Structures are given as structure tokens and as C-alpha cells.
Structure 1
Amino acid sequence: MHAAGQVRIVGGAWRRRLLPVASGPGVPAGLRPTPDRVRETLFNWLGQDLGGWHCVDLCAGTGALGLEAASRGAASVLLLEQHAALVRQLRDLKTLLNAGTVQVRQGDALAVLRELARRPASIDLLLLDPPFDADWYAPALEAARPVVRDGGYLYLEAGREWTDEELAGLGWQRWRYLKAGQVHAHLLQPV
């Protein structure tokens, strides 16, 4: 068990490492780190070793998902976050962990997806965990399709289950699914 205001890296080089979660002015009220159990399940699905993988964590928030990928050997991890207070926290965590494969960037998730889509698809794992009340899930899923390479994965965390029909219409198929409390965790692959 760990204290409120902390997240624990579940596996890899930084396994069991407790990291602080930003709070206070400038931090969004709905900040919701992905639960340990859900992260553990996700990385069990993907395999423990992400050596050579290129990952993007959109709406990085606490950085729990992206830092978990880096801990498991990902070749590169982009932590993208819109809120300045969280970007500062992510940069501090990158320094604390001496995470040379991690890049922290402030920006808008949809704009970055469109930017990445102008390049050949090269992302092995795209992590999409926006606030549950976000109204841009569908545009993000559509914009993400040309970013993820064939055989790659998109992790979608949402406040509801996305149907196979909805996902197929946006270019995705469900590979795995888990409901844990209010979290609906989907692991998708390109159609």
C-alpha cells in the first residue's frame, strides 16, 4: 500500500519506486492516476520487456503509464501533458529517475497526434488516458490510427466501455478489456 499523493512503479528497473503526485494550484481537480492493478494487468498483456518500443503517453498526468513503459525498457517515451504544473512535475520525475529515454513536452494531445500522423507510423504503444469527461475520445482515436504501426497497440482508458462497433468505425479492434471500479481499460490494435 502507498500513501495518497503517490504512485508506485509496478515493474521493471524502477519497480516499487514511489513517485509523488502533483497537487495544488494549477493541477486539474480530476487528476486520476491509473490504478496499480490496471497498470500491472496492462503490462502483463503487453509483456514485461518493452525493449526497443517507442511509446507516447498522451494526457500523461502523473506520468504513471509512460514511466511504467520506460521502467520496462522502452527505447523512447514521450510524456505529453497540457497543464504546466504537471509538466513541471514530470520534468522533475524525469530528472529524479535519470530517465534518458523519456521526453516531456507540453501541448495539446490532438495537435500532437496530427503532427505524428504526418510521419510514417512508428509508435509501438500509444497511451490514451484523458479525463473521463473529455469530449474528444472519438477524434483522438481516429487521429491516432495512422500513428500506431501495424502490430502496435493503443491503450484506451475511459469512464465507459467502448463497443466493438464504435472502435471498428474508428480503425481499431479490441484485443483485451478490463473493468476495475470506474476504469474501463481497453487494449486495442489497428484494424
Structure 2
Amino acid sequence: VACLDLFAGSGALGFEAASRGARRVVMVENSSPAVRQLEANRDKLKADAIAILRGDALAAAQNAAQREPGCYSLVFIDPPYHQGWLEKVLPACMTLLTPSGLVYAEAEFPLDGDDAPAWMQDWEVVRADKAGMVFYHLLQRKSSARIEA
């Protein structure tokens, strides 16, 4: 399993994936201090399966979609809220994912139900719940939107 952790932050999602046997985890983080901490943690844990990229998550997702289509089984998206990141990043995930790949996405609002945003039309919410003020979702491309790699 290969995972892409966009907006890595503390790296909790990516480190957990690596600890559970992911063969490759790519973490993307824009903050230099956070990147330094991620690198220190990776080195301390000897987590050789983890690669850390400093940069913009949207650009990284778009570049990976061009270079490595169909490469990732799981993409983590836990972006800063109220900035429209999910709407911007999800289209690149269409190409990034393996045919049965999943996206784990956190948001400040639910992505399913009657109030689902229009940009969710190609995505199916496989699972969703709420913890405190955070809505978290497991997404899969709808079969009509699948892109074969």
C-alpha cells in the first residue's frame, strides 16, 4: 500500500500508516518548522518508508497525478479549514488513486447528505462521522467517475 499524506502537519496519519505496514508514505507539508519536526521524527523512528516533501499540497497532488497516476491506495487530506482546500485537491485524487483507492478527508462540515457540496458529485462517502467539531469521511470515487490507470 502506498499512501499520500497531504497537509501532513504532525504526521500522525502518515506515521500511523507506516507503522501498519504501508510500503511507501509520502508526506507533504508547507511549514518549514513542521517539515523539520517530521524529518526528525522519521529519523528517530527509522521509518525508511516515509518520504517528506516541503511544499504546497495542491501542487504536490497535481504533480504526483501527472508523474504517478494510479499509484496511491490511500490519500489523507486534513487541510486548514475555511480555505476551500478539499474542493481544490480532490480532483487530483481522481488520478492519483488506484482503482479501489480511498481518500480520508477531514472537514468543518459534512460532505454527504442533502447539503453535500456540488464538487462531491464524483465521490461516494463510504463512511462518515464526527468528533467534536470535526467531520471525517472515507471517500471513494463513484463507479461512473473511475479513471483506470
Secondary structure in 2 aligned to 1:113? helix
1:168 shift after superposition:
4.1
Question: 1:142 offset after TM fit, Å?
Answer: 1.6
Query: Once the 2 structures are TM-superposed, how far is the Cα of residue 163 of structure 1 from its aligned partner?
Result: 2.4
Indicate if the aligned counterparts of 1:145 and 1:172 stay in contact, CA closer than 8 A: no
Shift of the alpha carbon at 1:152? 0.8
Q: Helix, strand or coil: the match of 1:85?
A: helix
Aligned position for 2:45: 97
CA RMSD of aligned residues (A): 1.3
Alignment of 1:134-145 (within 5 A): 134-145=83-94
Q: Which residue of 1 aligns with 2:132?
A: 181
Q: Which residue identity lines up with residue 116 of structure 1 in the other structure?
A: A
Cα distance in 1, alignment partners of residues 92 and 73 from structure 2 = 15
- Worse-superposed segment, 131-140 or 87-96: 131-140
Which structure is higher in strand share?
2
TM-score by length of 1: 0.69
- Cα distance per residue 1:82-111 (max 9 Å; x no partner): 000000000000001000000111011110
Assess, with a 3 A threshold, how the Cα gap between structure 1 residues 107 and 98 changes in structure 2: closer, same or farther.
same
> What residue number does 1:107 align with?
55
Q: Which consecutive residues of structure 1, in runs of 5 or more, have no partner in the other structure?
A: 1-52
Within 1, Cα distance between the matches of 2:140 and 2:112? 14
**Alignment partner, residue 78 of structure 1:** 26
For 1:178 and 1:163, locate their aligned partners in 2 and report how far apart those are by CA, in whole Å.
Answer: 10
Cα offsets for 1:39-58 (capped at 9, x unmatched): xxxxxxxxxxxxxx000000
1:46-65 correspondence to structure 2 within 5 Å: 53-65=1-13
Which is helix-richer, 1 or 2? Answer: 2
1:150 aligns to what SS in structure 2?
strand
Q: How does 1:104-183 map to 2 (within 5 A)?
A: 104-118=52-66, 119-163=68-112, 165-166=116-117, 168-169=120-121, 171-183=122-134
CA distance in 2, matches of 1:136, 1:122: 21
Q: Is the 8 A contact 2:65 2:96 kept in 1?
A: yes
Name the structure 1 match of 2:16: 68
Higher relative contact order (CA closer than 8 Å, sequence separation 6+) = 2
In 2: Cα distance, 1:88 partner to 1:99 partner: 15
Q: How far apart in 2 are the matches of 1:120 and 1:184?
A: 28
The SS at the match of 1:145 is helix
**Range moving further from structure 2, 85-94 or 157-166:** 157-166
Contact 2:111 2:125 in 1 (8 A): no
Map of 1:50 onto structure 2? none
Give the 3-state SS of the residue equivalent to 2:111 in structure 1. coil
Q: How many residues align?
A: 138
TM-score (norm 2): 0.88
Structure 1 counterpart of 2:147: none
